[in-house]
Structure 1
């Protein structure tokens, strides 16, 4: 392997093959591996060197994989205990019907931000949205935009796989990337509420049958005070080090405990607070099962990232940007947008963008934190395309046809695009 550089053409062909195979509905893990193998062979590697490239690539994502698996404990507790549903119901009741769109967007944002996957967050809030939409006369497209836009905003400040991938891709603490996403997330929430409010009379309305069918029994959910313990513990522990660094308090700044420890600890404390300690095996098993698909895709993405890292593609990209005269800062959000669009997945898009273009982005003079936030927000722009499961899960949750769901993509892109633009201006040019 010493001295071997794969041709950038082989790397691009491999990436293109992987994308085409994903679009053709081949399992994304196999599609990514197959693209990496073909690209390496076309780029000049022999069979043995190709294996080494894939192994090196997959090894590079193991730190992310460990943290994602650890996050499964918190996710399992929040999903299986009913804590996420309790939080969502409380937010919607607090705001009332007159501010329904804000309430739905905020509810989805918060439960995504505390560690629930965005498709699961939409599934949790969808029954409430259908009921509220039916009573208030709000269209399905406005309701789902509120859920999806709120979820996107919460996703960039969450301890979810996408944020972990963004942090590990640039060797940052998870809390740093979560904190840096707060301002773009707030802007995303505001745009979501404004655009969804403009759409509330547009398109298909919720029928009485759909609203009744989706009624939820909340009697078995934990009370709000107990439901918020796990996310509060996670946030407090994750923020101790950044707060110490900002305030100059050395004792807090020296508190350097990795998210790999914090997220499971928060999940277990929350479980005990809800008096569900006897269900630790059930909740953690569920969380692990929910993380398995994500972990496998991350490993597949690591394989193709290994191909691109072993190639001279990053040098070619830097040269192209220098020739074009545009700011190299734009490489970070563009990489996030393109990779997430190709895979229809925020987390896969982030790990592909960081693994494939991370070095080139840093070589353009972009600081690691700025790079992470711009890649991360870029990955939310057009990540809900039909080749991914999020598109279909959310359509099913809101009883929408494929055509109706397709009509939402441009509005979701407005929300994601706003967050990417705000992050780029803020971290790429101002800070």
Structure 2
């Protein structure tokens, strides 16, 4: 790529510069581009080679960009129509206040799993959580852990940008990755409920002022039957091919329709089912707006991926792991953990991990689908740090101080860590 091989030192320096600039609050897109440029120049490229490396890198992520933009229509439908809110309320009502923590965690898991961004999912369920928590005497810490842990579990089985990036980064089907992540997600949900139950009386309780400041105005929400049309259509269409391959049904196995088609179709059918066909343009525009930041970061991460691909870093990483005697399988979850921690973002962490280390991970003999699952779940471990928006948005949803919000971080890491460990054991060693 670019007619020159970059030294691994230059590639690492470029990656480090990008991460440091992100931590210093420079716009992530500019940070990634600047890191890629400086890394290429330090690594031995001239100005022309550097441009070629960046262009080739950004071109490599265009497949992911297209799918993420397509997913925006489904996301916009679920968020703007009130469908996600309807689903959340239905789950909480079904389980009742006696199983409050389970119902809140499951509600956030489900609406994240059907295509709603995890911070938005937490914001949607938070008013319900505050109401239930005040009646039941459950602390803010336990409530936010239930929402965040459930959201993390749903996020790894969702058609959201992080899953799309993980699937495309290792060239596997989105639906296959969603299936592979299902068992880790169930373990994540179980740990969320268990730990949140244990700490439900620890920390600050809900007060009347929290209810006034956080409560949402009542909206004219769609019925549950109409609200689930979009996610049901998406899930059914995405699962046709994997089910056909698992059960050797040739008719189903031959159904190879990309998520790029399925997610917008599901979104539009959902709008029609809810009687919101006149809002197709508005909901699509909202979904596109929500996806814009992720797409820009994808392009920036593509530049870093171009730098790494043009370097001999993968070869050096593989040689180092073999010399150390440590199983190369651990590179997948560790890369996801470190990149997501550095950027405080699941999506950005997955994008950087796949762009920077996918070749090294695959060179160690790890199967692509296993690698995708391990990187993806690894990115959920400590992606909730203060340098990212998720930390602050979710803290505000519970009217928490910075100190109170920080107290939840270790418990969230337990949930993500559980999913990463389960995925690593299952797909890195057992299967």
How does the TM-score come out when normalised to structure 1?
0.99
In structure 2, the residue matched to 1:137 is: 137
Distance (whole Å) between structure 2 residues aligned to residue 69 and residue 167 of structure 1? 15
Residue 277 and residue 2 in structure 1: after superposition, are their counterparts in 2 closer, same or farther (change >3 A)?
A: closer
Residue 23 (structure 2) pairs with residue 26 (structure 1): no
Residue 268 (structure 2) pairs with residue 256 (structure 1): no
Residue 86 of structure 1 and its aligned partner are, at CA, apart by 0.3
Distance (whole Å) between structure 2 residues aligned to residue 293 and residue 15 of structure 1? 20
In structure 1, the residue matched to 2:421 is: 421
Distance (whole Å) between structure 1 residues aligned to residue 158 and residue 311 of structure 2? 33
Distance (whole Å) between structure 1 residues aligned to residue 266 and residue 170 of structure 2? 25
Deviations 1:354-408 (A, max 9, x none): 1111111111010010000000000000111111111111111111111111111
Q: Secondary structure at the match of 1:407?
A: helix
RMSD: 0.9
Checking the alignment, whether the CA contact within 8 Å between 1:83 and 1:221 is kept in structure 2 is yes
Distance (whole Å) between structure 1 residues aligned to residue 124 and residue 303 of structure 2? 33
Deviations 1:278-322 (A, max 9, x none): 111110000000000110011111111111111111111111111
Deviations 1:9-68 (A, max 9, x none): 111111111111111111010011111111111010011111111111111110000000
Checking the alignment, whether the CA contact within 8 Å between 1:131 and 1:212 is kept in structure 2 is no
In structure 2, the residue matched to 1:221 is: 221
In structure 2, the residue matched to 1:210 is: 210
In structure 1, the residue matched to 2:60 is: 60
Distance (whole Å) between structure 2 residues aligned to residue 215 and residue 372 of structure 1? 38
Checking the alignment, whether the CA contact within 8 Å between 2:54 and 2:303 is kept in structure 1 is yes
In structure 2, the residue matched to 1:126 is: 126
Deviations 1:247-286 (A, max 9, x none): 1110000000000000000000000000000111110000
In structure 2, the residue matched to 1:147 is: 147
Checking the alignment, whether the CA contact within 8 Å between 1:131 and 1:214 is kept in structure 2 is no
Distance (whole Å) between structure 2 residues aligned to residue 92 and residue 72 of structure 1? 26
Residue 106 (structure 2) pairs with residue 106 (structure 1): yes
Q: Secondary structure at the match of 1:248?
A: coil
Distance (whole Å) between structure 2 residues aligned to residue 367 and residue 188 of structure 1? 23
Residue 218 of structure 1 and its aligned partner are, at CA, apart by 4.3
Distance (whole Å) between structure 2 residues aligned to residue 155 and residue 356 of structure 1? 22
Distance (whole Å) between structure 2 residues aligned to residue 283 and residue 219 of structure 1? 16
Between stretches 213-222 and 167-176, larger displacement belongs to: 213-222
Residue 85 of structure 1 and its aligned partner are, at CA, apart by 0.3
Distance (whole Å) between structure 1 residues aligned to residue 24 and residue 214 of structure 2? 33
Deviations 1:216-268 (A, max 9, x none): 44450000000000000000000000001111110000000000000000000
Counting matched residue pairs gives 431
Gaps in structure 2 of 5+ consecutive residues: none
Checking the alignment, whether the CA contact within 8 Å between 1:78 and 1:116 is kept in structure 2 is yes
Residue 212 of structure 1 and its aligned partner are, at CA, apart by 3.8
Distance (whole Å) between structure 1 residues aligned to residue 252 and residue 336 of structure 2? 33
In structure 1, the residue matched to 2:399 is: 399
Checking the alignment, whether the CA contact within 8 Å between 1:23 and 1:387 is kept in structure 2 is yes
How does the TM-score come out when normalised to structure 2?
0.99
In structure 1, the residue matched to 2:232 is: 232
In structure 1, the residue matched to 2:274 is: 274
Between stretches 392-401 and 182-191, larger displacement belongs to: 392-401
Distance (whole Å) between structure 2 residues aligned to residue 90 and residue 329 of structure 1? 41
Distance (whole Å) between structure 1 residues aligned to residue 407 and residue 308 of structure 2? 34
Checking the alignment, whether the CA contact within 8 Å between 2:345 and 2:383 is kept in structure 1 is yes
